[in-house]
Chain A
């Protein structure tokens, strides 16, 4: 259980954050400048809050009222930074062992050989950091943080400096760690797909404040994110399972509670659980079942809510079996179709418009 309640003012920017989480992976999500990095720095002890309290599993790390401020090195909080920050004068092996050797023997819960195996570092051990690629460096940095046997592992946009291919690779390693080591993680990101893929819960930050917090499905699917609007497009997150993979057409069928969707370019095996995000602006509405149309996903549902128009755009919530799909249409279209709550409609979603979804371990 991580519990954070902090305030800090730097110049004109004020951070005032309060949240508690006990999920395995908590995402701190928000656009740059939302105060995410400064928040994890406060948890790690690199930045001191003006006021507040930080607690992990019942141990107080910071409490301004009680005058508690555990020094960084005694907090036992792993930190994977945006840059790898490897020690250039040490070999990969000595980098990995740096925190491992400093951790109290009784507190060590990961084994050197195991982490080396898990992160595929065996062939790098005797190399110097200067010769490694960006992805290799970040893997060593992750291993180094993990080997210190921390109480919690903080990731501050660890993929920011990597290309897409490497990003995916590192994400897979992080997933592996999440499922294998079962250490609580706090993952800072401004990328929706990373959050969908890794996190169990999300704390949405904007302007140094918590805008929303809760389960990934609830926070990321929510359309009315107020201050975070524009940060990412509103939409729906559907938890589904891959039931078919057409290798020839490179199209997958995923089933959710009460329906199924066709998704293109999905890199997942049959039986794997995935999260599919449907952007509200990618969903069209038809009153009758369309025929002879390229759109692959036609879902029958009932309008459960129509939000008030903003800038000429209306947001319609359509109940499809157990889930609610959001659609954004123009006010003109809504009035021409005479959309109203309770109407039976068809939601049309192009298979190619679906976000490459995050693959979830079962």
Chain B
């Protein structure tokens, strides 16, 4: 199947949005997961619930709130544009942000689970060997939690590829700028004779998702084998 120039554009944009949403949210998700897994503090339950909000709220609501807060007329949006030149609304960066927010709870959950499974006695051993907090985190905790980081990244990536409601609400449906795969498919279903095009894009979406799944499965298997102290054979 030969892809048309328009299909390439949609695919490229979708991947760009998904990749940047994952890269941008990973540090924050890892930090949130660490805090939730290891720290006790007042308001932890509320913090935890807030992070999970995108999972339970209608995506349209998330998109609407993003628009209220980060739109060019909104205080924060105006501030970011004036001092940093960052604009989210009606740009692909906004699409990436919407995807990042929607995928955030999935990423945090996966990383948190694997952080909780890391044996804290190993961290204590590393400290007696002369490693400070940051080094322990970088050399023991994170490598051992790597399978969860990979799983979380993939879940968030897949969520980003499929993200529709928050994106269309926040940054609209602009060809070449914010029209990702789901938005393009939706658009074709709304025009006469658009069905074959919608079908072709759907097949592309399926193939991309399958490829992502496969890659993450291989990576996660290797990481799991490594963190169990055996060579990756299976």
* A interface residues with partner B (beta carbon < 8 Å): 44-46, 71-79, 81, 83, 85-89, 98-99, 102-103, 128-131, 144-145, 148
Q: In the complex, are the beta carbons of A98 and B126 less than 8 A apart?
A: yes
Chain A residues whose CB sits within 8 angstroms of the CB of B132 once the complex forms: 71, 73
Can you pick out 17 interface pairs between chain A and chain B where the beta carbons lie within 8 Å of each other?
A45-B128, A73-B128, A73-B131, A75-B128, A78-B128, A79-B128, A85-B119, A87-B126, A88-B122, A89-B226, A99-B129, A99-B130, A103-B130, A128-B229, A129-B229, A130-B229, A145-B128
| A131 x B230 contact (CB < 8 A) | yes
Check B130–A130 contact: CB distance below 8 A.
Answer: no
Partner of B130, one of A73, A81, A86: A73
Q: Please state if B128 and A130 are interface contacts (CB–CB under 8 Å).
A: no
Q: Are B121 and A87 in contact (CB under 8 A)?
A: no
Given the contacts A89-B144, A128-B229, A98 and B122 also touching, CB distance less than 8 Å: no
Q: How far is the CB of B233 from chain A (nearest CB, A)?
A: 11
Chain A contacts of B144 at CB under 8 A?
A: 88-89
A130-B230 contact, Cβ under 8 Å, with A79-B125, A87-B122, A89-B143: yes
Query: B105-144 CB contact bits vs A (8 Å, 1 = yes)?
Result: 0000000000000010110111111111001000110011
Contacts of A128 in B (CB 8 A): 229-231
- Shortest distance from the beta carbon of A90 to any chain B beta carbon, whole Å: 8
Q: Is B227 part of the binding interface, using a Cβ–Cβ cutoff of 8 Å?
A: yes
In contact, A81 and B121 (Cβ under 8 angstroms): yes
Q: How far is the CA of A77 from the CA of B128 in the complex (A)?
A: 6
Contacts of B139 on A, CB cut-off 8 Å?
87, 98
Q: Which residue from chain B places its CB closest to the CB of A85 in the assembled complex?
A: B125
A89 pairs with B131, CB closer than 8 A:
no
**Contact at A72–B125, with CB atoms within 8 Å?**
no
| CB contact under 8 A between A144 and B129, given known A85-B122, A88-B144 | yes
Max chain B CB contacts within 10 Å: which of A71, A81, A85?
Answer: A85
Q: Shortest beta-carbon distance, A328 to chain B, in Å?
A: 43
Query: Among the listed B128, B143, B228, B231, which residue makes an inter-chain contact with A44, where contact means beta carbons less than 8 Å apart?
Result: B128
Q: Which residues of B contact A (CB under 8 A)?
A: 119, 121-122, 124-132, 135, 139-140, 143-144, 226-231
Which of chain A's residues have a CB closer than 8 A to the CB of B226?
A: 88-89
Q: Which of A72, A78, A129, A131 contacts B127 (CB 8 A)?
A: A72
Q: Closest approach, in angstroms, between the C-beta of B65 and any C-beta of chain A?
A: 40
Q: Given A46-B124, A81-B121, A83-B121, are A88 and B229 neighbors across the interface (CB < 8 Å)?
A: yes
Q: How far is the CA of A89 from the CA of B127 in the complex (A)?
A: 17
Q: B121 contacts A85, CB within 8 Å?
A: yes
The minimal Cβ–Cβ distance linking B139 to chain A, given in whole angstroms, is 8
A121 to chain B, nearest CB (A): 16
Identify 8 new A-B residue pairs, CB closer than 8 A, beyond the known A73-B132, A87-B140, A88-B122.
Answer: A45-B127, A73-B130, A77-B128, A79-B128, A83-B121, A86-B229, A88-B229, A131-B230
Residues of B within 8 A of A72 (CB): 124, 127-128
- CB neighbours of A99 from chain B (8 A): 128-130
Please give, as numbers and ranges, the residues of chain A lying within 8 Å of B130 by CB-CB distance: 73-74, 76, 99, 102-103, 148
Please report the C-alpha to C-alpha distance between residue A74 and residue B143 in the assembled complex, in whole angstroms.
Answer: 23
Contact B229 A131 (CB under 8 A): yes
**Chain B residues with CB below 8 A from A88, complex form:** 122, 144, 226-229
Closest A-chain residue to B128, C-beta based?
Answer: A79
The minimal Cβ–Cβ distance linking B127 to chain A, given in whole angstroms, is 4
Q: Are B124 and A98 in contact (CB under 8 A)?
A: no
Closest residue of B by beta carbon distance from A76: B130
Give chain B nearest CB distance to A355 CB in angstroms: 33
Which residues of chain A are near B121, meaning CB under 8 Å?
A: 81, 83, 85
Return chain A residues, CB-CB under 8 Å to B122: 85, 87-88
The closest CB in chain A to the CB of B231 belongs to A128
Of the residues B119, B129, B231, contact of A98 by C-beta under 8 Å:
B129
Which residues of the other chain, B, contact A79 by a CB distance below 8 angstroms? 125, 128
Q: For the complex, give the distance between the alpha carbons of A81 and B229 in Å.
A: 19
When the two chains form the complex, which single residue of A45, A46, A89 contacts B229, counting CB atoms closer than 8 Å? A89
Tell me, rounded to whole Å, the shortest Cβ–Cβ distance linking B212 to chain A.
25
Give Cα distance in the complex from A72 to B129, angstroms: 9
Give complex CA distance A334, B121 in Å: 54
What chain A residues lie within 8 Å of B128 (beta carbons)? 44-46, 72-73, 75, 77-79, 99, 145, 148
Q: Is the CB of B125 within 8 A of A81?
A: yes
A144 to B131, CA, bound (A): 13
What is the CB-to-nearest-CB distance from A186 to chain B, in angstroms, rounded to a whole number? 13
CB distance from B210 to the nearest CB of A (A): 29
Min C-beta distance of A149 to chain B, whole Å: 9
**Bound complex: CA A75 to CA B127 (Å):** 10
Name which residue of chain B comes closest to A86, CB basis: B229
In the A-B complex, list the 8 residue pairs whose CB atoms are closest, starting with the nearest. Answer: A130-B229, A88-B229, A99-B129, A102-B130, A85-B125, A72-B127, A79-B128, A130-B230
**Complex Cα spacing A234 to B89, Å:** 83
Contact residues in A for B229 (Cβ distance below 8 Å): 86, 88-89, 128-131
- Rounded to whole angstroms, the CA-CA distance of A99 and B119 in the bound complex is 19
Q: How far is the CA of A87 from the CA of B143 in the complex (A)?
A: 10
Give the CA-CA distance A83 to B121 in the complex, in Å.
9
> CA–CA, A98 to B122, complex, Å?
12
